[in-house]
Structure 1
């Protein structure tokens, strides 16, 4: 090695961080900054505004958290927050809050996560005592600002984390209202995995001469396999559960996330996969925070190996041992696909992104390929013969490991006794059969039809539009399994579909994708929600504001029109 061979290796100490932060990073085992941290920490410490494009898993939380802690006054502030971090979901609020707390432990930094679904009394008490960093979802932050319990006079830094996700969830107006309440001389930081025009619009309006950073996903060197292997299987809807089980049996992931569209689909698929022998856990908006924490604890400890989740519930989760991401349905937007597959293939590790596509979803799959500039290989679903071969291979590997590592001497007498009557090969085959059956390999004799992708036909069998873009349906009853909720605010109050989606997704246990048709009249709105979530939605909306006002919320009465 030449004397200057290590000159290009940057450490956290090279970034000028204070000793307390370096000690915390060393304790956590962080040795050198990631690319986004190398590029962002210096300008942020200098007080520059920043617009950063980086996917989940690139280390962007530390990229903004460390400069916040570096710039914080000695001994903390005067009780008002020094920094406000806005995030799209409650899970990400908790995760970012925990990270800031770990980094700032030596400084005694007071961090508070604020999100819907948590008792507001505790939040009020902590805010009254004084905090240094608030990590909040937009709706709950705006609620506290309206109550005068979140004081922003002393605010110096605002971070918009996963800004594209917040816009997709309908929080544009909330973000705008929050930024209007912050001091003019604040430092503003915006991170986003994708850069749609709306993000650039926010940056032009609210960032001053920002440093622009774009961290591309790590690509393989010429001749090397890509870090994330992307593959799709074409499967008729009725055969999807079987196909998923078969693909996972062949892939044998260390840990995997399967993304579904609805909570009902999550629950059904979790039950199916558990019946297939997987240690599967469900994660969706219908679960309380304590229940979600238990699920994530099981996954991180290795007592569960498969997480079946909705997008909103899984946003912001960082699972170290994750090897596979599965799209149980083709995502409705390329940006969603980018966010999902960004969870694997990190830090030089290989990952696999699997998509189960119905024959009619050809167009969306091609759109994702075009936008992401990556090739998604379409493969045939493993056959029954493929699955049997794979299971026999696993049995062979288990036997080989046993012969190399286990003490088998105690079983010699059994083999010698049987050898008096049977051939040794027959004895070995019988032992392998028993070992194979004892492995719990389920019989799977159903062949899945081999079908090609075909273009979608407009107007027939097409996918229902999601979120705010869904079509208003007038004069018809609610969809099957759905109930309409009456909300006493409409067109004359400036209410738009995204306002309703954002309020429900932020304050209740539902995600934007769980919400059905939306009808907005002049003085009221009707929103379809799943039957099981009606009371949760009504209770949550009664405790918040829509367009800054408290409104009547109840089940629809059929004569309300």
Structure 2
């Protein structure tokens, strides 16, 4: 029995931030941003964290975990960080989650005179090294890239006072825990640990017992609880009509995320949707980080209304007002279903989750949803059916192809980020910087292509290579066509 099971569900009500023991300056900074009341996960964990206890927390997606561990890190007292020596550390599994955490904490840190920065794969190693030399109070990092900096001597972890691990179970699923252990071994043993995870399966449970000291446990919801504010539907479709159904769903009003298994499917479906008149964009790990950031920003700003994504977006991506999540293919893993579904109905809102199911997928889908604790209403639909429109808001697409923006222009015609594929091409879902000197941002499992597709497996994370690769250096965006960079010394409150 895990610690979460032993403690049961913690009953905690929201509470004013000024009642949790946070420094007055931090409470004022929260108020200036319109945040006066803590979410339950924050009200439960922040007092214990400020009291110096190790904290083990579980909360459903969208519950406010970022500030639950972020505020205690910002509440550190004393002098600013020395060059290369961060005082607070946050480890996250993906680049997108690192950016989200950094963006959430930066305004608050600025009010306190503190610096929060991120180091992730797929971005310039030397620029990150320069930032670390200037001093970073709270460092947000993916394990692979941080390991690279440690090996190169551009980051030293001997003065870290508090360490937070966010989405620890996803780091385990992606094969990062050996790197996480190596990093925790470099952090002072008497430092504080804050670990947040949906589950304590296997390796995460071992991590808790090995690196946490008598942790206080707060479990605000079991994993299946995240489905309570969502309507779940299985749409029974024929293979021949599936694309037309997706085009009509994509043409609905409001933000929609469609999840697919592979990067190739994401690109292919996006092209078909745009040809039908749907403003769609593809997000997957085969794109360079600047392209991924641009696509997400266009989705947030409304330049695109439908995001077609692999599991790279299934956790940690917070976009307001996503009212519909579509599983283009039923996921095999119930955890994947729940975390994909969690992109809607965040922070108390409601949403709809639909899965397109063909006759040969019915049995497997029923088994998966049973494990996930989900009851999905089955409805047989065709493209023009009123029931499809009622459940999803589907409507006839314009049929006017959405063209790719011209170079240097945003989708709405203004000057903006460059469009198209990342420089240097894509190397499968492994994506990101091919070589940064470390073992990589993605080890072990990823999203593999279904049987029958040839080529490399499809990976939802990022991989930074293994070893020095004989002078290839640090690659900025994929394969050889990308910009090459030498390694040093070598040839509103976010509810997340």
Report the equivalent of 2:210.
205
The answer as to whether partners of 2:144 and 2:441 remain within 8 angstroms in 1 is no
Report the equivalent of 1:503.
440
Relative to structure 1, the CA distance from residue 352 to residue 394 in structure 2 (aligned partners, 3 Å threshold; closer, same or farther) is: closer
Residues 138-537 of structure 1 aligned to structure 2 (within 5 Å): 138-216=143-221, 226-247=228-249, 252-313=252-313, 315-382=315-382, 384-386=384-386, 503=440, 505=442, 512-514=446-448, 529=456
Relative to structure 1, the CA distance from residue 394 to residue 236 in structure 2 (aligned partners, 3 Å threshold; closer, same or farther) is: closer
Deviations 1:302-323 (A, max 9, x none): 2221111111155321011111
- Rounded Cα–Cα distance in structure 1 between residues aligned with 2:285 and 2:230: 28
Larger helix fraction of residues: 1
Report the equivalent of 1:73.
77
SS of residue paired to 1:505: coil
Relative to structure 1, the CA distance from residue 253 to residue 206 in structure 2 (aligned partners, 3 Å threshold; closer, same or farther) is: farther
- Rounded Cα–Cα distance in structure 2 between residues aligned with 1:347 and 1:389: 26
SS of residue paired to 2:200: coil
Are 2:61 and 1:56 aligned?
A: yes
The answer as to whether partners of 1:312 and 1:511 remain within 8 angstroms in 2 is no
Deviations 1:59-104 (A, max 9, x none): 000000001111x123423342111111111111111111121221
Q: Name the TM-score, length of structure 1 as normaliser.
A: 0.68
What 5-or-longer segments of structure 2 have no aligned partner?
1-12, 401-426, 429-437, 473-478, 480-496
Relative to structure 1, the CA distance from residue 288 to residue 38 in structure 2 (aligned partners, 3 Å threshold; closer, same or farther) is: same
Report the equivalent of 1:524.
none
The answer as to whether partners of 2:41 and 2:59 remain within 8 angstroms in 1 is yes
- Rounded Cα–Cα distance in structure 1 between residues aligned with 2:338 and 2:394: 32
Relative to structure 1, the CA distance from residue 365 to residue 196 in structure 2 (aligned partners, 3 Å threshold; closer, same or farther) is: farther
Shift of 1:381: 1.6
The answer as to whether partners of 1:20 and 1:107 remain within 8 angstroms in 2 is yes
Q: Which moved more, 1:73-82 or 1:149-158?
A: 73-82
Are 2:48 and 1:43 aligned?
A: yes
- Rounded Cα–Cα distance in structure 1 between residues aligned with 2:365 and 2:61: 22
- Rounded Cα–Cα distance in structure 2 between residues aligned with 1:294 and 1:441: 25
Are 2:27 and 1:90 aligned?
A: no
Instruction: Select the structure of larger CA radius of gyration.
Output: 1
Are 2:41 and 1:107 aligned?
A: no
- Rounded Cα–Cα distance in structure 2 between residues aligned with 1:528 and 1:143: 28
Shift of 1:511: 9.0
The answer as to whether partners of 2:261 and 2:449 remain within 8 angstroms in 1 is no
Relative to structure 1, the CA distance from residue 385 to residue 65 in structure 2 (aligned partners, 3 Å threshold; closer, same or farther) is: closer
- Rounded Cα–Cα distance in structure 2 between residues aligned with 1:553 and 1:298: 37
Shift of 1:348: 2.6
Report the equivalent of 2:121.
116
- Rounded Cα–Cα distance in structure 1 between residues aligned with 2:439 and 2:152: 20
The answer as to whether partners of 1:284 and 1:309 remain within 8 angstroms in 2 is yes
The answer as to whether partners of 1:37 and 1:59 remain within 8 angstroms in 2 is yes
Deviations 1:347-406 (A, max 9, x none): 332101111223333344233323222212221124534279879x999xxxxxxxxxxx
- Rounded Cα–Cα distance in structure 2 between residues aligned with 1:345 and 1:48: 32
- Rounded Cα–Cα distance in structure 2 between residues aligned with 1:503 and 1:77: 27
The answer as to whether partners of 2:247 and 2:397 remain within 8 angstroms in 1 is no
- Rounded Cα–Cα distance in structure 1 between residues aligned with 2:388 and 2:344: 28
The answer as to whether partners of 1:263 and 1:514 remain within 8 angstroms in 2 is no
Relative to structure 1, the CA distance from residue 289 to residue 551 in structure 2 (aligned partners, 3 Å threshold; closer, same or farther) is: closer
- Rounded Cα–Cα distance in structure 2 between residues aligned with 1:511 and 1:167: 10
The answer as to whether partners of 1:158 and 1:189 remain within 8 angstroms in 2 is yes
The answer as to whether partners of 2:250 and 2:306 remain within 8 angstroms in 1 is no
Shift of 1:39: 0.5
Q: Name the TM-score, length of structure 2 as normaliser.
A: 0.76
- Rounded Cα–Cα distance in structure 2 between residues aligned with 1:119 and 1:182: 25
The answer as to whether partners of 2:160 and 2:187 remain within 8 angstroms in 1 is yes
Shift of 1:248: 5.0
Relative to structure 1, the CA distance from residue 253 to residue 333 in structure 2 (aligned partners, 3 Å threshold; closer, same or farther) is: farther
- Rounded Cα–Cα distance in structure 1 between residues aligned with 2:185 and 2:14: 41
- Rounded Cα–Cα distance in structure 2 between residues aligned with 1:120 and 1:138: 14
Shift of 1:259: 0.8
